[in-house]
Amino acid sequence: MTSAFANIAFTANVKAVQTHMGSRETYCRHEQEPAQEPVLGPHEIAFIEARDSFYLGTVSEAGWPYVQHRGGPSGFLKVLDARMIGYADFSGNRQYISTGNLAGDDRVSLFLMDYPHQARLKIFGRARVIYEDDDSELLARLDNPHYRARVERGIVIRIEGFDWNCPKYITPRYTEDEVAQRIREATPALTAQASQRNARPEEPIGNGELVLAITGIRQLTPHIRAYELRTEDWGELPLAEAGAHLDVPVRLADRSVVTRQYSLVTEPGHHDMYEIAVLRESDGRGGSQAIHETWQIGTRLRVAPPGNHFPLHADSRPAVLIAGGIGIAPIKAMAQALRRRDIPLELHYTGRSPVDMAYRDQLAAEFTNGYFTYLSRVPGHQRLDVAEVLHRAAGDAVFYVCGPIALINAVRTATNRLGIAPERVQHESFC
């Protein structure tokens, strides 16, 4: 802020309010700065010459302020020298409020806005109205050769102070020309993107006999995404029993292709879709990260039919299912398959916190009985007591556990201790 601006704007009343509100000390400094001529620099000149409108405040002889909006082609407000600006005044609605006000009081206040760049220049000045007879040469300098209307008069303003304003509350707005310009600038990149999208899809990676495409993606938790895979014609898929997994080819950032396994989460009964749930492992070798970053709707893979190292028992013995974290993936499908067969079951699901537990609420809605959840990282919340779960289970129950290696080891230790036959305890480790 120039001291010239502060000296005009900060009247005794304004200073009193600043004192009352505690900002006086800050603004006082501006007034104490060595007096500077309010001379426009290159930045102000370029800004003024780029404007296609501004607001002009005048004061009537009755003391009322009046604000007029002035518009014209860019640059219609001309910089005549470092302290003088002016514009040509054309025939308008013939009210002459601003011009009339200037006859009684030559003081004006201008607001110049640059909405796209959120900038505002405020100017105090003294205005003079000039007519053809007064100074035809000066009037000619204010005229705009591209504007055909007749110049009635010119307004020349001697600058008494100016100040730039904080951009915080200026909403960016764009004129039609500015929007058109931005579209022109963005068009090559948008066209390139569109032609990439329309280009032949990349060859599917992998070398399995089944070509599957990603047809759905859902964010289940902050770190787990579900992917739906189907044949390209949404045809029937090879049957997969609960507990099965797919070997999935993944292209890493270095373009090499690796294989990762993902359990099928698909609810039994779906014959045209495999669903997998992938936890993004931030400290792994990059397989799950690459899936999260590169798999999109339409991504195609060549996979072998699902394999199954974690099948359910075929008889009618009850089951106790224990899942930790992403281990819920096969366990969910297994619980749903057992329920379809009317096999009595308990489902114990532990996670760090509720938001980390994929399918938690869906399972609560589906399994109103025998579904127990535990939180390992939330103080005061019930933690899974593996020994207790095994101890309370039916004497002929079959146990299935999938989750972190520590959980699998805890189940093994407890089953040994309780003398449960090893063939009644099945586990799948993701490591």
Ligand X SMILES: Cc1cc2nc3c(=O)[nH]c(=O)nc-3n(C[C@H](O)[C@H](O)[C@H](O)COP(=O)(O)OP(=O)(O)OC[C@H]3O[C@@H](n4cnc5c(N)ncnc54)[C@H](O)[C@@H]3O)c2cc1C
Residues at the interface with ligand X (CB under 6 A): 245, 260-263, 276-279, 281, 283-289, 326, 329, 428, 430
The Cα–Cα gap between 105 and 354 comes to: 70
Quick one: 291 or 397, whose CB is closer to ligand X?
291
Name the minimum Å distance from CB 268 to ligand X: 16
Question: What sign does the CA torsion over 279, 283, 288, 294 have?
Answer: positive
What three-state secondary structure class fits 407? helix
Q: How many CB atoms lie within 10 A of CB 386?
A: 21
The closest of 299, 297, 298, 279 to 288, measured between CA atoms, is: 279
Name the minimum Å distance from CB 425 to ligand X: 17
Name the minimum Å distance from CB 198 to ligand X: 32
Q: Where are the beta strands (DSSP E) in 307-430?
A: 319-324, 345-351, 371-375, 398-402, 425-428
Quick one: 121 or 329, whose CB is closer to ligand X?
329
The Cα–Cα gap between 212 and 431 comes to: 25
Name the minimum Å distance from CB 231 to ligand X: 21
The closest of 267, 270, 268, 289 to 278, measured between CA atoms, is: 289
Quick one: 89 or 228, whose CB is closer to ligand X?
228
Name the minimum Å distance from CB 415 to ligand X: 21
Quick one: 285 or 377, whose CB is closer to ligand X?
285
Whether the CB-CB separation of 389 and 373 falls below 8 Å is answered with no
Q: For ligand X, which residue has the nearest CB?
A: 284
Name the minimum Å distance from CB 234 to ligand X: 23
Q: Which residues pair with 59 in a beta bridge?
A: 65
Name the minimum Å distance from CB 280 to ligand X: 7
Taking each helix axis from N to C terminus, what angle separates 24-32 and 12-21, rounded to the nearest 10 degrees? 140
Helix (H) or strand (E) segment spanning residue 7: helix 3-9
Quick one: 231 or 259, whose CB is closer to ligand X?
259
Quick one: 228 or 428, whose CB is closer to ligand X?
428
Quick one: 331 or 425, whose CB is closer to ligand X?
331
Residues 16, 19, 23, 25, Cα dihedral to 10°: 110
Q: Which residues pair with 210 in a beta bridge?
A: 303
